Each structure stands twice: as C-alpha cells, then as structure tokens.
Structure 1
Amino acid sequence: MDRENLRALHIIVKGRVQGVGFRYWTRSLARSLKVKGWVCNRADFSVEILAEADTETLGEFIYALKHEHPYARVESLNSEEVQVKGYADFRIEV
C-alpha cells in the first residue's frame, strides 16, 4: 500500500465487546482487509484498537466493527486520527 495514503486511527469500542470473541474477530477482520495495528481489552471492559490503512479501508473496518460481529453489542465507537507508526501486521495485545 502507498505509504502516503496511510492513515491511523485510535479506536475505543464500548458495549458488550469482551467475552464474545471480539478481539479475535477483529484480528481476522483486520487481516482480511489488510489493516495493520493491534487490538486489546481494557480494564473498563471496552476494547482499544489501533488501525492503519487507507481512508476507504478504515471506513469499511469501522462499519464492520459497529455492525457485523454476531454476538457483540457496540454501544459506542470513538476514533481519533493519530500518527502512522507503520505496523507490519495486526495482532492481539495482552
């Protein structure tokens, strides 16, 4: 992917997103869309994501996070643009 078109988003997802396989599903989604970065659970039961891709792909990724997990119930998803770090893959952080 052209590095000039890369954007990075820091995303916080709240709702029923822990205990439903959300991190593993997110990793699978990210890899299928060629999104780079990471996902982790937070102590407040939300999920934190750092995602790097082009604008269109990030839009698809966020839509899927909000609407496509079969068991999660996303109550809010907040994202802010951050500096691109150049991750090589998408992983689950612990």
Structure 2
Amino acid sequence: MEKTMSGKKALRIRIRGRVQGVGFRYWTLLLARRLNIKGEVRNLSDYSVQVCAEADERILEHFVTQLREGPPHARVDELIARPIAVSGYTDFTIEG
C-alpha cells in the first residue's frame, strides 16, 4: 500500500458476486463511517461494486475482512484490493 506522511494508506477494492440490489453500498457506508474510513463506494456497470478507501493500514485490513463477508443477502465471490495513491477524501460517500 502506498503511504503518505500522515500514515494513511489507500485501496481500490473491486467486489464481485451478488453485491447489487442487496444493500451492499449502504452497508459499506455504515461500516466505513464506523471505522472512520474516508472514500467512496459505487456500483459498476458489470454488476460489481468498487470501493476506494483511505485509513490506517490496520483499519483497512479489518475493513477488507468485513467486506469479504458482506451484508445479509449478499454473496461475495471475488474481492480484489489494490493499493492506490491517497486522494484526501474527507468523508465516505455512496456515488453513482
């Protein structure tokens, strides 16, 4: 993961499975805000979900673990997390 002077790291996470139409984005928003993660979540046209997340490395690791489980009624078949540059998000939002 790329790191800034503040110690924050950032990930782009792609989640495939039954992740649209099951409350995945809203559940991710609540989880991220509870963990004080900054970034965004959005549905993609291929029926996957993309998350950009910025936080301390340990918090991001916990976040990814929770995303692998997903909310009730969701099914995560694949999760790919790649490091990206920190963008400086100030909140966590649902986009698109």
TM-score normalised by structure 2 residue count:
0.93
Cα distance in 2 for residues equivalent to 1:56 and 1:35: 11
The structure 2 residue matched to 1:52, chosen from 54, 57, 61, is 54
| 1:43 correspondence with 2:9 | no
Percent identical across equivalent pairs?
48
- Displacement of 1:67 in angstroms is 1.2
Q: Distance in 2 between matches of 1:11 and 1:3?
A: 22
Q: Greater CA deviation, 21-30 or 60-69?
A: 60-69
Q: Describe the shift of the 1:23–1:31 C-alpha distance in structure 2 as closer, same or farther (beyond 3 A).
A: same
Which residue of structure 1 aligns with residue 80 of structure 2? 78
Shift of 1:71: 1.4
Equivalenced residue count is 93
Q: CA deviation at 1:4?
A: 2.4
Quick check: which one's helix share is greater? 1
Structure 2 distance, partners of 1:3, 1:22, is 32
Paired with 1:3 and 1:89, the residues of 2 have a C-alpha distance of 19
Gaps (5+ residues) in structure 2? none
